Structure 1
Amino acid sequence: MINSKKQAVLPVLVLVYVLVCSILVFTYQDEKKSPPEIETPRSSFYQKENVQSRQEYEQEMLVNPATGKVPANIRKQELEFAREVNLQNTLNKTPRSASSGNGTKNHQLLWLPVGPENIAGRTRAIALDIRNEQIILAGGVSGGVWKSENLGQNWFKTTASDQLQSVTTITQDIRTGKEDIWYYGTGELVGNSSRAPGAPFRGDGIFKSTNGGDSWEPLPSTQSNSPGIFNSPFQYVWDITTNPNNLAEDEVLAAIYGAIVRSTDGGQTWTTVLGTDLINNPPTFDLNNIPAEFFTDIHRTESGVFYATLSSATNMAGGESRNGGIYRSEDGQNWQRILSLFRPGEESFRRIEIASSRSNPGLLYFLAESSKGYRLWKYVEGEGFTDYSANVPIETEELEAFDSQGSYNLTVAIHPTNPNVVFIGGTNLYRSTDGFATADNISWIGGYDPESENISTYPNHHPDQHAIHFIHAFPDALISTNDGGVFITSDSRAEKVTYIPLNNTFVTTQFYTASYSRYPLEEVVLGGTQDNGSILTLDKLVNQGPNGIRILGGDGGFTASTPYGYYYYLSFQNSRIFRLTLNRNAEITSFARVDPVGGGTDPSQSYLFVNPYVLDPNNANRMYLAGGDFVWYNQNLSQIPAGSQSPARVNWKRLTRTEVQAGVISAIQVSTNPKDIVYYGTGNGQLFRIDNAHSDIYSVKEITGQEFPVGGYIRCIAIDPTDANHILVAFSNYGVKSLFRSTDGGTTFTHVSGNLEEFEDGTGNGPSFRWAAIVPKTDGTKLYYAATSTGLYSTTSLEGNVVWEQESPEGIGNMVVNMIDFRQSDGKMVAATHGNGLYTAQADGVVPNENLVVEEDFEIANVYPNPFADEVTIEVNAPRTRLLIIRVYDSRGNEVKRVTSNLAFVGQNDFFWDGTNSLGQPVGNGVYLIRVTYEQKSYSRKVVLQRE
């Protein structure tokens, strides 16, 4: 039997090793020198520098401003509401007249999934089919359940598009004849969003499959039926296992919020067998008000003995549970505490993970995170506990300190045939060859790269470990899941462990942002992701080969690109923005950090975790940035010198009249036609308009709508490319009116959320609006899009009773869509989901940007002001994107300064000289010659410097 398993699995392992990334062919620079390395921050959710900003960002964006809380149970309720909306739209699907004000049918686009199919998202749940280990089921915490039938070479999704996607654990019934029964649990209590019980990606019970995981149905006994309160402990499921020793009954045990629960009828009914009984409380109870064990775990050994852990930490600050401890049971019903962890005033225990030895089932390890650090115990049945906590890795020259990030990532495993080889995972993955009996035989084998001077990931691996599994037929083969998906190694005991990603078509990437490349010759999407940095993705169907490349690490933010290729703008968390050039393999060939010195420095009004900025669609060398309490403007990004990883000073201006007295600037957008109008909004519901934003005579006017929700979070401002007075303003909070339209530049607004609000006043279970777009067509019509927490919607009319219809119900479905973007030159569109990657579509007949006019000849169009005292602008028009050099000479012919040696893009380009020499020192008053060299020709103008 073992030999037959080896014969079945071995070819697959060999095939896994030959998975390689395809070479991308872009219009990038092709340089053969080693690419420069950018120091990137860590992307971990609970990394010290990230935890507060990410929690606050996600929480403030979603809370009902009237209560300050995310509505309890909102995920389930908004999904049910979305189903009602879709059902009503289907029932009402009749031909409509163009003047009906309710949109027209058949305007939906064909949205195709484009991955990236080789870069996955956070994966907590995984299990191998006991009958055939080539069959794997894995779950993304916001991406649903996926199945592979060839050991992870490729995957297909088995949860329906309208089902809950928050998968945290998965298990199989291993009894003979019952192997097609599977269960998965939902609800990530620590990690996916802020800890409020109504968090947007929370769970709602346990799902069951009776056909090998090909489809799923919720267990009604675990579903919450009372909206508005946290009343079910099944909303957070830590772990599930079955009892193969009970041949007469379908016995399931689950570690849920506060307790271990047991069912003997396949999940139809449950009883609490350990911990705090929360399932028998009246449905009106708010579980926030009942002290309960915050972390639980359940584990079954190879011999069928059960072990469970309950944290002493509870949901109450400072409250400790007397139940905290480690427990043992031989029948899953009667439990004995074998180690008490109730130590009030001394130590508080949080999450405690369990592992047992396959070759010696009476040997176990328990890994815990506590108020005093980390605890690691070895337990042998009949002998008791040995404390190896002192040997958990600490910072040395060879090792980085073990870090579970507040119990977010924590896992432990024992080698199947050698119980002395033990693995523990936090941010990194570690291996001990003496069971952590000493600190001398520990190796760092995954997560971050121990050999990198900067922060980078271990080769073909990823930080933040969540699960470890072994293959029975090949005991040294180890499957690791983490925030980057699923990875395999054939030799977990090698001195240098080598991994192969198993993420081909495992599309669980969590995107915050996405933008379609503005260069018309590129079919490329840029996107910022949670945990996976900033990714470049080829726009092509999944299953056509690897199409994603991680360009920057950290948590990815906003992205942008120029209409001429060459420059790409990507960012990390908290608005660290880089201008990049890339070669044909999408490797960085040059970079410059471009965010401004002084931006976001007010601690009470700092940058957002995912902070917005935008390039001017008429002049991609100009950037407008949400700087916390001010809008910042850069007049020419290309003049910023390459190579710096520090904030930039060159050409940045803080637009002082844009100051917001309270809140943080949360959205910003610049117009196409007419030019130079900027709208910006705040996280407390204020909206402003800047006219002549590019000039010193800019003006600012507050245009906050009278019906805007007080304290609402403006997530997006969409501007009609053909009419800057036509805008949409999207609020992302729950429980408020979500989408407003103005056709007069903000003088008046109309509420246009339509059928996506349950009630006209915005209350109820309508979705959170994340983004909006206006797409003008050459036939005079317009397409309107709303990206929401229950999918992507569209309409062709915002008049009368607005009816939004779901785009791609079978593809995007009810996934959270954080952003949409379209390329005006040809109508290419992208939708960024938080859990299932990117989808692209083609909108035909889109009105192009007529402002991007190609000049016939090069010219210095203007040099002003002349005379000047502080700064002179050199305006040039270029017929082609080419290298341009600007030098300044004094009256004796001496070169004073090289102002720039960089690109001039097609069309208008503005460069600036501040009256200093090459050392940055002010030069004297007088006449200076400005010489511009372009395509081996020189052009000159005189300018007078006249300081008072």
Structure 2
Amino acid sequence: MKRNNVIIGSVGIVATAALFAVSPWRSADSEGTYTQEAFSSLTEKSADDARLWLDRKYLDPETGERISDKKLRQIDAAVSQMEKSRAVTFIEQGPDNIGGRTRAIQVDVTNNDIVWAGGVSGGLFKSLNGANSWDRVDSYELLCSPFISSMAQFTNGTLFVATGSNQEGWGGDGVWYTQDAGQSWTVVPGTASLPSVTEIVAPSNGTTLWLTTTSGLRKWDFGATSLTPVTTGAGGCNSLACSPNGQVIVAAIGSNKTYVSSDFGASFTDKSGSGAGLVPTGSGRIEYAVSHSVNSSGNYSVYAVRTNSNLMGMNVSHDNGNTWSQFIGSSGTPSNLDIYRNQGGYNSIVSVTPQNAEKILVGGIDIWKWEQTANNPPAGGFEKLSQWFLNPSSSKYVHADNHEMKWAGNKLYIGNDGGIGVSYDPEDAFFPANRGYNVTQFYGIAFDKNGGVMGGAQDNGTLHNDHQLSTFLEFTEVSGGDGFQCEISFFNPKVLFTTSQFGSGMRSGDGGTTVDEFVPNPLPAGYDPFGTDGSPNHPFHTNIFLAEYYDLNSEDSVTYIPDANHATGETLLIASLASGDSISYTLTSPLYYDDTLNYTSSLSVLETSIVNEINGQTIFLDLFSWVHLGTSGSGLVPPIVGDSILVDFESGTDTVVVLSLGTYTHYYAQNVALGAVYDMEVDSVIYGVAWNNVTIQDPYQSWYLMYVNANGGELWGTRNALRLSAPDQQWGVIVQGIGGNFGDLDVEFSRDLNNLYITTGGSVITRVDGLGSTYTSSATFMEDAFWHQAGVPSVSTPPNATTKMTFNPGGTIDGIGVNPADADDIVIVTGFGANSIKRSANATSAAPTFTNVGSIAGSSSPGTYDVIIDREDPLILVVGTSSGVFVTEDGGASWEDGSIGFCGTPVYEVRQSWRSWDDGNFRPGEIYVGTFGRGIWSTSSYLSTNDDYNGGNNGTSIEEFDTNLFPYPNPTSASTSLSFELANTSDVTIQVYNLSGRLVKSISKKNLSQGSQVIDIKGADLATGTYIVKMFAGKQQATTKFVKM
């Protein structure tokens, strides 16, 4: 059936060639239209996969093996002597509410409200209020390794902190102690050269510290100038526990043989073996616990938990470790006693409850309880107390992967991959306690144009902070699992992309409130589905990449159909195909629209209708195509009674027999200005008629890439990732044969998307040229851009419009940095070694050449993982390393350590917000780093304001600048802090008013620097109530409010 259309005259205004008033920054943070679907959080990752990825980051270029602890200590020594950067200072972006992997907790013996905790790569923290809040111990950072493994304390308050890890392979720098509550630190003699000390214990009433070392059990008597070897069996000491008074000490030696002393360490006896009363050997890991007090027989109860990937057995001795009984044998997935979920070598801890020597808590994936109910031999039952996959607000939630348990009376502190957990009664309830405890480990990070940040965290999912939560540093989880690479759209910051292990990818169109799977679908036959554990197609570390460009050469277009009249010269904001983005366009001709359209009487035509003899239907014959059926009818137009005709209805062609004929009026309306006529069919009035439209260029372009390990390594891509309503995502393989199987990729685009540089952790860089010039509007787009479409078997034909080339700069390439102003200028980093940073000035040529950039610290340089070239000054390089962030402002001739706040913590990703104010970027030049143990940090040291571009304030006026004025905490019972952004260096005035309009407080600050600022408002003299806060900085103004409780 013919529908209402304009049928006469000029019907369209095409404007694909020229945009009269296009503004790239006029994009709204619009929400998409996604629906929440179930996201399974019931699959735990493999700790072995995470370890393999970390090992790949610590390869020695000279040996091809993991770098030695000796070399790591040399690197640490060299870094400690370097100048701290005066040019770059970083500020913490958080999270202050998530935590991270923790294996060391100590309740202070002098005051149980004081608790110490150490992240495995985040340094030392201290709480003065029983873990309600935490502060970093800054004095520790300046001297000591951030890789904390264990803590112990003497009764006199001397606190010991051990460093190094045999799980992640990070070397330490010994055992440190403080006698003044953390103000100063001293290394225990003889420990600085040890590869790692994974466990220390100290009898609470003694002055002797016991240590595990790779050479065996050692002890240190306070004041001695060296360690004392302890006579046990041959081999290293792997685990250690002691009774509170030091009488009973139990240690794992060599192949985890159990040695016990019941005479305060004077002698040790081998209690391992296959016979009765002994502890079996051969387990990959063994953990011990000793009761807090003697049992009913006057002896200490000692427990041994043996694991490989799962439980091998648990043993108990109720006579000071002299005779042992096994009370449970091996078990694991998929049994009901699945404590470790194939990770028994990674997460294992056991602790005896304070009041009952015959009750223990066992930590693996979750927390379990075992209580003895029978003697001779000891026997009892297990009960699971926690569930890691519940919401953190649940009283049964404890984060997965438990490593530490310490008691303060009946109060239990738990260290796990989620930081700190607390319980006043483990059989009743738990809660996380991470406020201020930022030891979160990020693999990858993202940022938005307003300064919001997101990161993919080890065992803590993908976390987002738009600085609109209860504190400036608070994050919220967008998706779970292990988080890896992530992206935030610059054009529309509500569009987020997240990942988890083994190729899982998600997309959100509403700022993270809801997420849906976003991966190439369907994959060709023979590929494992995304998210398949252990799949050869999908490495543990999932890699995605988003690149966006406001492309004035775009061949894509959008058509605007008006819903109102628009005059020549009027400026319209027309929706881009990219969701949430708008194109500013000034009309060169008017657009016409009728809300109510009445027919034009002079155009009405009397037409023929017929009645169908078969079903009695009246048919307005002029509205359909029809032909006579056969040759037996009249053949006339219109037909006559008795004729049989074939009518092409909307539902399909059907036979009609003419029963009778009639007439009807066919209505038309006219737009005189256009000379256009609208076909109204049988309606004399219709509604919502657009007479013409305008088609304009759509400059919002992007490429979204995802790695798949097939055909020698593939990158799949789509240009429709930001087009949330696109019916077809049009995925395809842009390049094959790039290598990679650890998921250790880095991908960087040139600004215009036409040069793509790829490394997969080998010595080769792959460059793909031409992607930025392929557009989805082209009829040959799929052939131009891709090897093959998703779901179509691979063919040998490469893309028509792109080219691939490879070049070999040497080394094992970890990261690439591309100058956003010059695609020829790239820097690569290659891990450890003196010549680990190289630069090319002709990277787009047929044969790029590279030269060495001055090394950070010669042969003792830290491992280099990622790099950025500053957007304005190419002599400025910022490099993420195994020991923090390093900066050069002279092209590599000299380097400074920019890691104050996260010294010594690995940094795997560095990113710069390189777009300008004119591009709509409110943080131009800001640099973000993702640390693996201290969260996300940023620096505004190279931040520019709109005054730095084209005379200042072009594109965005000072009145339009987003100040992001934010009070935290809010509500508050005491003081509050105001965070805000300054567009320019300025004097600042803060005025606080009560609800009666009276000024109750005024604060003035002189010459505050442009960028992020925080001003404290003291609340001691403020009454309970709501307060209005006004901020004035030149022409910049903002208002907010807070509540004093």
Fold conserved between structures, TM > 0.5: yes
Q: Give secondary structure in 1 for the equivalent of 2:52.
A: helix
Aligned with 1:173 (options 132, 135, 154): 154
Q: CA RMSD in A?
A: 3.8
Aligned with 1:269 (options 214, 221, 226): 226
Residue equivalent to 1:365: 303
Q: What is the alpha-carbon distance in structure 2 between the residues aligned to residue 600 and residue 275 of structure 1?
A: 55
Residue equivalent to 2:761: 683
Residue equivalent to 2:653: none
Q: What is the alpha-carbon distance in structure 2 between the residues aligned to residue 109 and residue 599 of structure 1?
A: 51
Residue equivalent to 1:60: 56
Matched, 1:144 2:120: no
Matched, 1:310 2:389: no
Matched, 1:770 2:852: no
Q: Give secondary structure in 2 for the equivalent of 1:617.
A: strand
Cα distance, 1:685 vs. partner? 0.8
Provide the TM-score with structure 2 as the length reference. 0.63
Aligned with 2:730 (options 645, 651, 663): 651
Cα distance, 1:834–1:723 mapped onto 2, change above 3 Å: same
Point out the structure with max Rg over C-alpha. Answer: 2
Residue equivalent to 1:154: 133
Cα distance, 1:672–1:339 mapped onto 2, change above 3 Å: closer
Cα distance, 1:296–1:666 mapped onto 2, change above 3 Å: closer
Q: What is the alpha-carbon distance in structure 1 between the residues aligned to residue 526 and residue 903 of structure 2?
A: 37
Report the more deviating stretch, 429-438 or 550-559.
Answer: 429-438
Residue equivalent to 2:978: none
Cα distance, 1:702–1:395 mapped onto 2, change above 3 Å: closer
Cα distance, 1:553 vs. partner? 1.7
Q: Give secondary structure in 2 for the equivalent of 1:59.
A: helix
Q: What is the alpha-carbon distance in structure 1 between the residues aligned to residue 224 and residue 907 of structure 2?
A: 32
Contact 2:701 2:719 survives alignment (8 Å):
no
Cα distance, 1:128–1:444 mapped onto 2, change above 3 Å: same
Matched, 1:549 2:476: yes
Q: What is the alpha-carbon distance in structure 1 between the residues aligned to residue 227 and residue 115 of structure 2?
A: 28
For residues 600-633 of structure 1, the C-alpha deviation after alignment (integer angstroms, 9 at most, x for no partner) is 9599985443243321221565213333312322
Q: What is the alpha-carbon distance in structure 2 between the residues aligned to residue 595 and residue 258 of structure 1?
A: 53
Aligned with 2:364 (options 426, 434, 437): 426
Q: What amino acid sits opposite 2:718 in the alignment? A: N
Q: What is the alpha-carbon distance in structure 2 between the residues aligned to residue 239 and residue 668 of structure 1?
A: 37
Cα distance, 1:311 vs. partner? 4.7
Residue equivalent to 2:884: 791
Aligned with 1:529 (options 457, 464, 467): 457
Q: What is the alpha-carbon distance in structure 1 between the residues aligned to residue 374 and residue 148 of structure 2?
A: 31
Q: What amino acid sits opposite 1:526 in the alignment? A: M
Residue equivalent to 2:434: 503
Residue equivalent to 2:240: 298
Q: What is the alpha-carbon distance in structure 1 between the residues aligned to residue 35 and residue 731 of structure 2?
A: 31
Residue equivalent to 1:111: 90
Residue equivalent to 2:11: none
Contact 2:351 2:362 survives alignment (8 Å):
yes
Cα distance, 1:123–1:261 mapped onto 2, change above 3 Å: same
For residues 226-278 of structure 1, the C-alpha deviation after alignment (integer angstroms, 9 at most, x for no partner) is xxxxxxxx3232321224555xxx3221122252212224463122214357x
Unpaired stretches in structure 2, ≥5 consecutive residues = 1-27, 529-533, 550-699, 775-783, 785-799, 916-920, 956-1045
Residue equivalent to 2:39: 38
Q: What is the alpha-carbon distance in structure 1 between the residues aligned to residue 831 and residue 294 of structure 2?
A: 53
Residue equivalent to 1:615: 546
Contact 1:326 1:340 survives alignment (8 Å):
no
Cα distance, 1:356 vs. partner? 2.4
Q: What is the alpha-carbon distance in structure 2 between the residues aligned to residue 82 and residue 550 of structure 1?
A: 35
Q: Give secondary structure in 2 for the equivalent of 1:749.
A: coil
Residue equivalent to 2:269: 336
Residue equivalent to 2:893: 802
Q: What amino acid sits opposite 2:216 in the alignment? A: A
Cα distance, 1:846 vs. partner? 7.5
Residue equivalent to 1:84: 81
Contact 1:686 1:702 survives alignment (8 Å):
no
Matched, 1:378 2:316: yes
Aligned with 2:398 (options 431, 451, 461): 461
Q: Give secondary structure in 2 for the equivalent of 1:508.
A: coil
Cα distance, 1:534–1:822 mapped onto 2, change above 3 Å: same
Residue equivalent to 1:569: 497
Residue equivalent to 2:905: 815
For residues 720-762 of structure 1, the C-alpha deviation after alignment (integer angstroms, 9 at most, x for no partner) is 222222212222244653332334525443434314141xxxx
Q: What is the alpha-carbon distance in structure 2 between the residues aligned to residue 540 and residue 720 of structure 1?
A: 32
Contact 1:529 1:535 survives alignment (8 Å):
yes
Cα distance, 1:414 vs. partner? 1.8
Report the more deviating stretch, 592-601 or 716-725.
Answer: 592-601
Contact 1:391 1:439 survives alignment (8 Å):
no
Contact 2:746 2:814 survives alignment (8 Å):
no
Cα distance, 1:457–1:483 mapped onto 2, change above 3 Å: farther
Q: What is the alpha-carbon distance in structure 2 between the residues aligned to residue 630 and residue 68 of structure 1?
A: 25
* Alignment: residue pair count: 719
Matches within 5 A, 1:11-30: 29=31
Cα distance, 1:551 vs. partner? 1.8
Matched, 1:242 2:202: yes
Contact 1:404 1:427 survives alignment (8 Å):
no
Q: Give secondary structure in 2 for the equivalent of 1:57.
A: helix
Provide the TM-score with structure 1 as the length reference. 0.69
Q: Identity of counterpart residues, as a percentage? A: 19
Q: What amino acid sits opposite 2:328 in the alignment? A: S
Q: What is the alpha-carbon distance in structure 1 between the residues aligned to residue 210 and residue 879 of structure 2?
A: 41
Contact 2:310 2:342 survives alignment (8 Å):
no
Cα distance, 1:447–1:704 mapped onto 2, change above 3 Å: farther
Q: Give secondary structure in 1 for the equivalent of 2:97.
A: coil
Q: What is the alpha-carbon distance in structure 2 between the residues aligned to residue 436 and residue 117 of structure 1?
A: 46
Cα distance, 1:612–1:183 mapped onto 2, change above 3 Å: same
Cα distance, 1:641 vs. partner? 8.3
Residue equivalent to 2:856: 756
Cα distance, 1:687 vs. partner? 1.1
Cα distance, 1:460 vs. partner? 4.5
Residue equivalent to 2:778: none
Residue equivalent to 1:443: 383
Cα distance, 1:682–1:152 mapped onto 2, change above 3 Å: same
Matches within 5 A, 1:866-877: none
